[in-house]
Structure 1
Amino acid sequence: MSPHKNSLPKLENQEDRKISLLDLPGWTLDIILELLPPSDLCRVAKVCTYLRNRCRSDDLWDKQVKQKWSNLIGDVALQEWQWHTTKINTQSILLLQNQSTGSCGSFSGVWPSLSLHSYLENFGDLTSLFQKYSKMALLVCLESGRFWFPAQVYKRVPLYCYDAIVSYDSKTDTFRARSPNNGWRMIEGNIEWDRLRSSPVENFSRKFYLSDMNDLKPGDHIEIQKRKRKEYPYDWWFAIVGHLESCDENVNHCLCQQSDMLVVEFKQYQHGSRWRRSVLNRNVYEEQGSRLCWMGGIRKLDKEEEIERWNSLLSSRNN
């Protein structure tokens, strides 16, 4: 038999052989895996050890988290997640598995003045992921609603947002929220994505937000802490810096920015309403108020998208 005839079957086998994922260069494989949804990534991870490690890498799952959750999971929520991850990784697996619920949270205070920053529940089956694949564990806990993370919830009537911890419901693509306003046991449900935002400051609802009011001038858009009683938590209210009653609002003559007094206008209330305007002292760096309400710190809004979001809520409220 000639050498030519002996080589034909071998060539035919090479042509018939199909290329698998394992034959691809690493960078090509990573591009393909980045295009897969989380459910398919989990399926591919079951094929072999090599693909399991590739499919569970923190870089890959970090992109998955950012793609869907980047507008909602901010620095405050990530710090809470790191708190849980560190606690789980420093405790023995046996101790965690022996817990009846496999849950933990960061608490401070005494009921009913309990401050709850986040909560992680029913994670007992994910302890191995926490040890090696924290980002994958994060997405799993977000999508399954196990991770109650800090966020802020917009309310249209009246117009404000409140601090809460929220949990995702994948069946309805909405959220549940627990807040100190309702005593953590009460849950608001069916909250849509556009009613949530990540916490813009590392400041929780009972803490005064220290800010410089001397920089504020009429027309500036702001968020101001406000509460009915001193024992209540703060909410963040949308407002605009207004003119003093003595000012004719002429740009060339306005001296409101030089005044010690600062006018805060809540445009969700009608003209003449006692809730429409409040006057604060710029030089007082503590809570100010009366029997009607108490004002805390002020956060000036510099980002146009934040202002547009508040104005959109105000418009939908008035329609």
Structure 2
Amino acid sequence: ANTVWLSLFVGAAPYDLDAAENIIRTAFTTLNDTDYLLLLLPAGVDIFSPLAHSFEEVPIVDAAGADDLDYDGEFGERRVFCCNREVFIPTLTIRPARVEDHDDLVPIFNSQSEVLTELYGEFFLAELIEAQNESTRALVAEVDGRAVGLMSLTRDIKLGVLQQCFDLGPYNNLMQVTRAETRRAEAEDRAANALRRDWLATLHVRAAEVEEVFEALGSSGDADDVVNMERLAEALNRKGVEWSYTNRRKRGLGDQMTEDLGLAGQVVTRDALDEAVGDFAARRAERALRRGVFA
């Protein structure tokens, strides 16, 4: 059995007892492989009151197995206390459900809701257990010979009911994904990634926000407005981060744009900038067309 040592506990009255019990219960719940908590105290020190409810003293014996509380070795002046997992988390026995478990289980269900009894009758649990077959199984958790929990399992899944009652969107509503859907999703991912690497497409999609950038820089959109390309590049670099823009050269959106347009560090009119962008788009479209023709 796995064991851990309790080295320190501090609690403020009047909450120390509740704190101790909840901490110990959490320890056993979290440490699934731990069966015992041990506490080592000097012989003249009594166990602290909050822990006394959960820990019992363990007799110390020598190698021969005889009681030897006066043993002069390492534990000669120590006392050992033990807390068993079962004090807080009883060991459950899982077995197939039987009809006679009905009387133990009904109070558990009714304590949480009487709707099931009202809908399906007083003996719905017995009927559920009795109806087990190749596609339906019922299991109970048992403690000290008494059923304390029930799980009903079935292969007959009513998918529509599950979709109506639960948010299954992240799991594709439990529907099997077809190859066509997989290919379409992959194509959409590739397109999205390509968009994030394309400053021209990004600016086109974000046209309204780009116009706000120009307004912040003092450009009203008139053809003769002057645009400082260095300031514009800095602003678009920041926006590019916000828009998840990226490229293989690790350059910002604004820096890549001004380099491709040949306008880095210049001051140009809005009309000249629009013309440069149009020329760049036309050249790129022509290159794409050539690749398509000669591929």
Q: Which TM class, normalised by the smaller chain length?
A: under 0.3
Q: From the two aligned structures, give the one with the greater strand fraction.
A: 1
Larger radius of gyration: 2
* TM-score, normalised with respect to structure 1: 0.19
